[in-house]
Amino acid sequence: MADTDSVKEAKNFYHDIPQKNEAFFLKGLNSYDFGMKNRMSKIFNPKSGHTVMLAIDHGYFQGPTTGLERIDINILPIIPYTDTLMLTRGILRSVIPPTYSNGIVMRASGGPSILKELSNEQIAVDIEDAIRMNVAAMAVQVFIGGEYESQSIHNLTRLVDAGIRYGIPTLAVTAVGKELNKDARYLRLACRICAELGATYVKTYYCTEGFETVTSSCPVPIVMAGGKKLPEKDALIMTYNAIDQGAAGVDMGRNIFQSDYPIAMISAVREIVHNGMKPDKALDLYNSLKKA
C-alpha cells in the first residue's frame, strides 16, 4: 500500500492565474499538433524566428557538383554553423555524423537527372524511412508551369498527407525551369499554390521587384533559395533584402559551399538572418573571417 502519511494537504493551484496559451512563433502554423511544431522549432530558431539551412542535396539530380565532390571533406567542417541541413537520405546515412542534432530536411522527391526532363519527379522516400532517420521535415520539388506540373503537385499532396499522419512537416520547393521567369508574379503563383495544397513551409527564389508580395501572399513561412553562385557581396545583399522583405530564412547551397571561404560566408549570412546585420557590415565580417 502506498505511504500517504507524508502527503502535504496544502497545494497551490494558482487558480487566479490563467494558463498561458501562446501562439506559435511561425506564421500560419498555429493549428498544427505538437510534433509538427516541435520539428519546425528544430529548423527555425524560436528566438529570431529565422533559419539558416544549408542545401547540399544537389547530387540527387546533378551528381557530384562543384563543392560537393567530397561531402566528408568539403561540407562536414561547415555543419556546426548551420541551423538545418537539407540533403538526401543517401548522404545522411553515409556521411553525416548522427551526433548532428539540428534539423534535418530530407529530400523526398527525385527521379530524372540533368540529362532528362527534370519535372518528371516521383516521391523518392517512404515516410517510414523519414521517421527512422528522425528528420525534421521532408522536401519535395514542385514544378508550377512545368511539363509534369500536376504530377509534382500530386507528389506534394501525398507527402503532406503522410507527413501530417506522423507530425512531419513538408517543405515545398518551387522549381524554376530554364524557360520560366523568376518574377514576382510567377513566384506568388507558385508559393501560394504550394501553401494552399498543404506545404508547411515553402522554399523559393528571390526576385528584385516585388519579393515582399511573394512573402506576404504566402500564408506559411518562406525560405529563400540561394541560386547560382554570386560574388559574396551580392549574395549578402540578396540575403539581407530577402529577410527584410519577409523571408523567414535562407536555404542556401552554392553561395556558401562554392565560396572560397565557406565558413566565413555562412557566418556572415547567419549575422544577417538572425541579427539583422546590414550587408556592408556582413561583408566586412566575411573579409575579416576569411583572413583568420
Catalytic residues: 203
Per-position b or e across 151-178, b if 16+ CB within 10 A of its CB: ebbebbebbbebbbeeebbbbbbbbbee
Residue 85 engages ligand 5RP in binding (rule: CB under 6 A): no
Phi, then psi, of 104 in degrees rounded to 5: -115, 125
Give residues 124-183 in contact with ligand 5RP (rule: CB under 6 A): 141, 173, 175
Number of Cβ within 10 Å of residue 17's Cβ equals 8
> How far apart, in Å, are the Cα atoms of 33 and each of 29, 39, 166, 167, 272?
9, 10, 10, 7, 31
Per-position b or e across 274-283, b if 16+ CB within 10 A of its CB: beebebeebb
H/E stretch holding 33? none
Point out which span in 20-28, 183-191, 246-254, 263-271 binds ligand 5RP (CB under 6 A).
246-254
Compute the Cα dihedral for 230, 228, 272, 213 and give only its sign: positive
Contact string 44-73 vs ligand 5RP (x = CB under 6 A):
-----------x-xx---------------
CB of 186 to ligand 5RP, least distance (A): 16
Binding residues for ligand 5RP, total number by CB under 6 A: 15
> How far apart, in Å, are the Cα atoms of 257 and each of 23, 48, 189?
36, 24, 30
Backbone angle region of 281, left / alpha / beta, with phi > 0 → left and psi within -120 to 50 → alpha: alpha
Contact string 1-40 vs ligand 5RP (x = CB under 6 A):
----------------------------------------
Point out which span in 68-76, 96-104, 184-192, 223-231 binds ligand 5RP (CB under 6 A).
223-231
Point out which span in 11-19, 93-101, 253-261, 276-284 binds ligand 5RP (CB under 6 A).
253-261
Quick one: which of 103, 249, 253, 262 contacts ligand 5RP (CB under 6 A)? 253
Quick one: which of 252, 277, 282, 285 contacts ligand 5RP (CB under 6 A)? 252
HEC letters along 163-198: HHHHCCCEEEEECCCCCCCCCHHHHHHHHHHHHHCC
Residue 227 engages ligand 5RP in binding (rule: CB under 6 A): yes
> How far apart, in Å, are the Cα atoms of 194 and each of 22, 37, 179?
27, 19, 20
Point out which span in 71-79, 164-172, 182-190, 222-230 binds ligand 5RP (CB under 6 A).
222-230
Quick one: which of 42, 89, 254, 274 contacts ligand 5RP (CB under 6 A)? 254
CB of 6 to ligand 5RP, least distance (A): 59
Quick one: which of 36, 86, 176, 248 contacts ligand 5RP (CB under 6 A)? 86
Residue ranges that bind ligand 5RP, judged by CB under 6 A? 55, 57-58, 86, 141, 173, 175, 225-227, 251-255
